[in-house]
């Protein structure tokens, strides 16, 4: 980790997160499962699933976000044409190569047609796994979308109860909600810490720390976040003359870690992003009193992130979340990084750009794939962007 | 994603005698475009909406005229104007990677929004976002809303991920219809909703749907009197477009059924742009939309070889009627929900595989051909698995060609022709092997 101090507390934490990131056989999740009889693991893809319900069943929610740039895709390409993004083929590769053979269930959230269709493929290819396409409402009225969603959640809760052989109780769910509330609070704290002092919490480190939350039990991850925050706040690191940008479009297929590092090396501190949104999808604490499924549903309807896969009913609100992210984090520009062939990100992009233009916020855009190797063009583009921002701001 | 009645500009090799259904269809389309483009003068209100999950019976209850952007993209594909529109959209910031229907539509708007009759399309009074079977629809109408700044209604159709329609899905959709879609349409149109009027239209839909199914299933006979893909695209135009629930649609499908029955009685094959097709040599099931920019050239590659398409999935994107679903006036809102939920692209991949396997078996086809569309994730993601699975289940060879709907840059005639030729050879080999084994 370039920005870490050797032997420092942050370096130790980041090294652990990096090891989890590098491990394409999911050893830590396997160990967790093997540690007690009857344990089960339920995988989920981007963009959001209520991990609380999986946790409440005593299971480990395992985030699957493709194979990255280190996985050799041997079988996956036989399932996808060249004009389809990369995450489904590397995910299929993870499955076909046996790397996910310990996973008992897979949830495919409603994000796009590719992941939607992958849910059916998974059903056919892995018939012994519990597979569910996880639909969410695009109608945000409590009595319409809310009712629908509560019923969907009830069904999921019922299925997971069946999978473990014992129904999930409301108290178990309340307990899990509390655990994830705490985790999300720390994620938000980390984001606001980075927005204030991005040199103290480099984007690649923050990403790795977040990414660890996809494979670790939430309690351990919360611990890791707490430790990282404390360590990052206490270690003084050199401050560069970088500009501050919001990175957007990276909500599904992951950019290579090198890409994230390259942005900062090129002169852009990432002060907010839409990476791994599941870790902070719900933007406020979910109440732990009352009906837990209703609480999860209401949080989804009224206190959740905005992204391309979610309908924005109000034209005036369209894209404002990005403007707010820029203002909140004190960013000076936006970098659109979208996966190649990603309809949601690429169709959303012009609308967001119009909103930024109206708000006088500069931006640049490029595409990537999870296995993009050449960072030079991106580095140059980001470098020029950083220079021009400095020029505009008269520094 | 849809299909329509088409009147391509490129002159056919020879004039084909027009059947009553074709004449009728042409008149219906022309009249519809005239009504649409004169809406600013007549004061009629316009709703833009999508083909899969379109609620024609409902919007007619409010006297709204429907404009279907997918149909306009197809028209532009057939008229060879879509290529320039796609480029225009890319010039103004749209990615080369995304759905070309969207770009054709946006490019057309940027270039004056001219309808096939040469007059300007009116701006819609409302965008009815029937969000069924494709995520791109949502982005598409958000993009249009940005331009037109008009009211937009979302009707969210859940996906049949588990291969079934649940009571929760129906209830959700009916509630959206009752509490959001209908009240908003009432407000915009100034017309009060009358459920009996809806029932009347639904009854008419069911009558036309019966005749359509009869026509599509005539392809089970040998030789097939229809081509259920290239020809089928003409046949589904009225029912997928602005005419479901109208007397015009009833008349059209009655004419069509009579014509197909006459062809059956005479032992004739399908009509092609070059007249009656020659001897039927290959019977295919096709998955995926066609290419529109080279539609005739594409079709010719089939009929020149004696290949007829006996069933296709594309002719089910605006509604799947051949497994028994009919619009039901007895439960007007529920039936609209069921219709939306059941369209082809809203069906899970295993359902799609079952359907295509059934088609190969029931229509006694020689195999499955997939035309994979570069810019359509809804159809294309997963098609390679579909191909292998249908091949395995039916024991019949399958093949894969690639093109695009309305972007001419992705139509490679030589490639497709080569692949088709090898496919027909594979079928011959398979037949020889079966004969030898018998
Ligand atoms: S990268 Fe985009 S298109 Fe691909 S699976 Fe993710 S959201 Fe869908
Ligand atoms: S992605 Fe496919 S189904 Fe969706 S609008 Fe485009 S062509 Fe139609």
B contacts of A113 (beta carbons < 8 Å): 134-136, 377-378, 381
> Sorting pLDDT into bands at 50, 70 and 90, what band is B11?
very low
Looking up tokens 């394409």 gives: A24
Beta strands A333-339 and B271-272 are unpaired
Q: For B312-339, what is each residue's pLDDT tens digit?
A: 999 999 999 999 999 999 999 999 999 9
Does some domain include residue B13? no
A contacts of B98 (beta carbons < 8 Å): 343, 346-347
- Residue B147 C-alpha, separation from nearest chain A C-alpha, in angstroms: 10
| Average pLDDT, rounded, for chain B | 94
A contacts of B171 (beta carbons < 8 Å): 147-148
pLDDT at A391: 86
How many angstroms separate the CA atoms of B362 and B322, rounded?
Answer: 12
Does some domain include residue B292? yes
In 3D space, the residue among A30, A156, A52 whose CA is nearest the CA of residue A103 turns out to be A30
pLDDT at B20: 82
* Residue A113 alpha carbon, nearest atom of ligand 1: 8
* B389 contacts A145? CB cut-off 8 A: no
Does some domain include residue B10? no
pLDDT at B23: 86
Beta strands B271-272 and B275-276 are antiparallel
Model-level pTM?
Answer: 0.96
Residues A45 and A254: beta-carbon distance below 8 Å: no
State the distance from the centre of ligand 1 to the C-alpha of B118, rounded, in angstroms.
38
Q: What total number of domains does chain B contain?
A: 1
Does some domain include residue B218? yes
Query: Testing the interface with A: which of B128, B135, B164 to mutate, by most A Cβ within 10 A?
Result: B135
Length of chain B: 438
pLDDT at B10: 40
* Residue B133 alpha carbon, nearest atom of ligand 2: 3
Reduced to 3 states (helix: H, G, I; strand: E, B; else coil), residue B331 is coil
Does some domain include residue B179? yes
pLDDT at B283: 98
pLDDT at B18: 66
How many angstroms separate the CA atoms of B366 and B280, rounded?
Answer: 12
Give the residue from chain A lying closest to B385, CA to CA. Answer: A79
pLDDT at A1: 40
CA distances from B192 to B63, B126, B129, B185, B244 (A): 10, 17, 21, 9, 21
Mean pLDDT on B418-432:
97
Does some domain include residue B228? yes
How many angstroms separate the CA atoms of B295 and B291, rounded?
Answer: 6
∠ at Cα B232 (B231, B238), nearest 5°? 115
Does some domain include residue B409? yes
Does this complex have an ipTM over 0.90? yes
- B267: region left, alpha or beta (phi > 0 left; psi from -120 to 50 alpha): left
In 3D space, the residue among B241, B238, B214 whose CA is nearest the CA of residue B228 turns out to be B214
Does some domain include residue B14? no
Give the count of beta carbons closer than 10 Å to the beta carbon of residue A259: 23
| Average pLDDT, rounded, for chain A | 96
Q: For B365-402, what is each residue's pLDDT tens digit?
A: 999 999 999 999 999 999 999 999 999 999 999 999 99
State the distance from the centre of ligand 1 to the C-alpha of A249, rounded, in angstroms.
10
Beta strands B151-156 and A268-273 are unpaired
Helix axes of B413-437 and B295-303: crossing angle, nearest 10 degrees = 20
Q: Does B68 sit in the ligand 2 pocket, CB within 6 Å?
A: no
How many angstroms separate the CA atoms of A44 and A276, rounded?
Answer: 12
pLDDT at B12 over 90: no
Query: Testing the interface with B: which of A116, A338, A351 to mutate, by most B Cβ within 10 A?
Result: A116
How many angstroms separate the CA atoms of B70 and B245, rounded?
Answer: 20
How many angstroms separate the CA atoms of A38 and B105, rounded?
Answer: 54
In 3D space, the residue among A62, A27, A58 whose CA is nearest the CA of residue A46 turns out to be A62
Looking up tokens 């840059």 gives: B409
> Sorting pLDDT into bands at 50, 70 and 90, what band is B17?
low
B223 preceded by a cis bond (ω within 30 of 0) = yes
pLDDT per 10-residue tile (average), chain A, 395 residues: 61 98 98 98 98 98 97 94 97 98 98 98 98 98 98 98 98 98 98 98 98 98 98 95 97 98 97 98 98 98 98 97 98 98 98 98 98 95 96 70
Q: For A76-98, what is each residue's pLDDT tens digit?
A: 999 999 999 999 999 999 999 99
> Sorting pLDDT into bands at 50, 70 and 90, what band is B3?
very low
Q: For B250-295, what is each residue's pLDDT tens digit?
A: 999 999 999 999 999 999 999 999 999 999 999 999 999 999 999 9
- DSSP assignment of B412-434: -HHHHHHHHHHHHHHHHHHHHHH
Q: Does B101 sit in the ligand 2 pocket, CB within 6 Å?
A: yes
* Residue B100 alpha carbon, nearest atom of ligand 2: 6
Domains and CATH numbers, chain A: 2-172 (3.40.50.11890)
Report percent pLDDT > 70 for chain B.
96
pLDDT at B8 over 60: no
How many angstroms separate the CA atoms of B320 and B322, rounded?
Answer: 6
Write out the residue range of the structural domain in which residue B357 sits. 20-437
Mean pLDDT on B30-35:
96
Helix axes of B167-176 and B332-342: crossing angle, nearest 10 degrees = 110
Residues B127 and B144: beta-carbon distance below 8 Å: yes
A contacts of B135 (beta carbons < 8 Å): 111-113, 116, 309, 343-344
Q: What is the DSSP letter of A240?
A: P
State the distance from the centre of ligand 2 to the C-alpha of B72, rounded, in angstroms.
13
- Residue B400 C-alpha, separation from nearest chain A C-alpha, in angstroms: 11
* B139 contacts A349? CB cut-off 8 A: no
A contacts of B152 (beta carbons < 8 Å): 313, 315
């Amino acid at each position: 980790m370039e920005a870490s101090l050797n032997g420092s507390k942050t370096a130790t934490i980041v090294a652990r997160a990096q090891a989890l990131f590098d491990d394409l056989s999911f050893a830590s999740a396997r160990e967790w499962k093997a540690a007690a009889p009857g344990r089960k693991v339920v995988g989920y893809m981007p963009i959001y699933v209520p991990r609380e319900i999986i946790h409440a069943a005593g299971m480990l929610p395992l985030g699957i976000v493709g194979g990255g740039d280190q996985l050799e895709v041997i079988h996956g390409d036989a399932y996808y044409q060249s004009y389809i993004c990369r995450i489904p083929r590397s995910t299929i590769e993870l499955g076909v190569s046996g790397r996910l053979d310990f996973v008992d269930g897979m949830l495919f959230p409603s994000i796009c047609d590719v992941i939607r269709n992958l849910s059916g493929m998974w059903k056919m290819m892995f018939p012994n796994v519990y597979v569910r396409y996880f639909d969410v409402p695009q109608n945000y009225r409590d009595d319409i979308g809310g009712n629908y969603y509560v019923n969907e959640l009830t069904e999921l809760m019922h299925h997971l109860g069946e999978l473990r052989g014992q129904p999930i109780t409301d108290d178990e769910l309340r307990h899990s909600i509390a655990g994830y509330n705490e985790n999300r609070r720390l994620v938000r704290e980390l984001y606001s810490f980075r927005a204030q002092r991005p040199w103290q919490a480099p984007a690649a480190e923050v990403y790795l720390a977040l990414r660890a939350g996809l494979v670790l039990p939430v309690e351990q991850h919360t611990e890791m976040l707490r430790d990282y925050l404390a360590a990052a706040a206490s270690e003084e690191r050199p401050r560069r003359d970088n500009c501050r940008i919001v990175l957007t479009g990276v909500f599904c297929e992951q950019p290579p870690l090198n890409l994230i590092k390259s942005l900062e090396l090129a002169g852009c501190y990432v002060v907010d992003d839409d990476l791994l949104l599941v870790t902070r999808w719900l933007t406020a604490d979910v109440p732990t009193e009352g009906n837990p499924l209703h609480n999860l549903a209401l949080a989804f309807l009224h206190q959740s992130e905005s992204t391309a896969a979610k309908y924005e009913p109000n034209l005036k609100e369209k894209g404002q979340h990005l403007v707010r992210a820029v203002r909140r984090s004190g960013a000076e520009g936006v970098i659109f990084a979208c996966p190649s062939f990603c309809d949601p990100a690429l169709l959303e992009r012009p609308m967001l750009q119009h909103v930024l233009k109206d708000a006088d916020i500069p931006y640049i855009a490029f595409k990537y794939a999870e296995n993009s190797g050449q960072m030079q063009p991106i580095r140059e583009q980001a470098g020029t962007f950083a220079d021009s921002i400095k020029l505009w701001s008269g520094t | 994603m849809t299909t329509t009645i088409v009147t391509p500009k490129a002159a056919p090799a020879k004039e084909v005698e027009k059947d009553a259904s074709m004449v009728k269809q042409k008149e219906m389309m022309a009249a519809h475009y005239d009504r649409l483009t004169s809406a600013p003068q007549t004061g009629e209100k316009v709703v833009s909406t999508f083909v899969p999950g379109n609620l024609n019976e409902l919007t007619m209850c409010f006297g709204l005229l429907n404009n279907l952007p997918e149909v306009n993209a197809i028209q532009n594909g057939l008229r060879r104007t879509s290529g320039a529109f796609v480029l225009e959209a890319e010039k103004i910031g749209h990615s080369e990677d995304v759905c070309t229907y969207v770009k054709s539509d946006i490019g057309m708007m940027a270039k004056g929004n001219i309808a096939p009759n040469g007059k300007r399309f009116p701006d819609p009074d409302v965008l009815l976002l029937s969000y069924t079977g494709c995520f791109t629809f949502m982005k598409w109408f958000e993009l249009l809303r940005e331009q037109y700044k008009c009211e937009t209604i979302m009707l969210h159709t859940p996906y049949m991920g588990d291969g079934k329609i649940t009571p929760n899905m129906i209830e959700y959709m009916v509630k959206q219809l009752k509490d959001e879609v209908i009240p908003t349409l009432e407000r915009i149109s100034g017309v009060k909703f009358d459920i009996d009027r809806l029932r009347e239209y639904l009854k008419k839909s069911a009558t036309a749907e019966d005749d359509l199914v009869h026509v599509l299933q005539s392809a089970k006979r040998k030789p097939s009197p229809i081509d259920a893909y290239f020809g089928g695209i003409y046949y589904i135009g009225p029912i997928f477009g602005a005419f479901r629930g109208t007397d015009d649609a009833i008349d059209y499908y009655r004419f069509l059924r009579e014509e197909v029955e006459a062809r059956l009685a005479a032992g004739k094959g399908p009509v092609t742009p070059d007249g009656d097709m020659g001897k039927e040599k290959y019977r295919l099931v096709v998955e995926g939309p066609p290419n529109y920019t080279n539609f005739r050239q594409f079709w010719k590659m089939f009929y020149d070889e004696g290949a007829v398409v006996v069933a296709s999935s594309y002719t089910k994107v605006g509604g799947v009627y051949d497994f028994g679903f009919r619009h039901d006036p007895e439960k007007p809102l529920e039936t609209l929900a069921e219709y939306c939920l059941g369209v082809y692209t809203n069906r899970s991949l295993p359902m799609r595989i079952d359907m295509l396997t059934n088609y190969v078996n029931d229509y006694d086809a020689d195999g499955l051909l997939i035309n994979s569309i570069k810019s359509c994730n809804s159809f294309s993601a997963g098609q390679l698995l579909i191909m292998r699975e249908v091949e395995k289940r039916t024991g019949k060879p399958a093949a894969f060609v690639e093109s695009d709907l309305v972007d001419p840059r992705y139509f490679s005639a030589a490639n497709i022709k080569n692949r088709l030729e090898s496919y027909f050879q594979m079928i011959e080999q398979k037949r020889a092997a079966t004969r030898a084994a018998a």
